[in-house]
Amino acid sequence: MEPGPLRRLIVMATMAVMAMLVMYLFMAKSMTDTDVPQVRNFVVGALSRSLDPEFESSLRVRRLSRGLDAPRHYELVIAPSAAVAADARAIDKLLARAAMHVLVEVKKGRGPASVTCVAVLPSDGSPGGSERRLTFDATLRPMEEPPAPAPTEE
């Protein structure tokens, strides 16, 4: 007895759903741009003893070129506590630890990653206060901050 057209349609639809699920799981595992809030929460939680609890930290990501395997550059903005902000070496160590946490969390993504950590320091009377910026590559070596990519026409 040959299966009817409705049964064939159900089998084909089930196979299509399974194929789409496999493709989704593969893509979800390889993309990290949507994981930025979770990475920020992890880094802030790991460094909470050294950070100002009143400051709202941020983590942004940008691709330095086009494509899925394009290099990604993260920028983490944090504010050290008053005790840490009083010592320049402590600020540098905090920024290096923050960069390490970000790079460990995003290493599963496609393409190389780099991170710039920005410490917003308490205001010394000047408008806007001051900041300390350190940029690291994927191996935690200091590097120059990459320029923003040129706008593309689509």
Long-range contacts of 88-92 (CB under 8 A, 24+ apart): 88/132, 90/50, 91/119, 91/121, 91/132, 92/132, 92/134
Token duo for residue 138: 């994927």
Residue-wise pLDDT tens digits, 88-119: 999 999 999 999 999 998 887 777 889 999 99
**pLDDT confidence of residue 102:** 92
Name the phi and psi angles at 91, rounded to 5: -65, -45
Note the pTM of the prediction, 2 decimals: 0.71
> pLDDT per residue over 8-62, tens digit each?
889 899 999 999 888 877 665 444 456 788 889 999 999 999 999 899 999 998 8
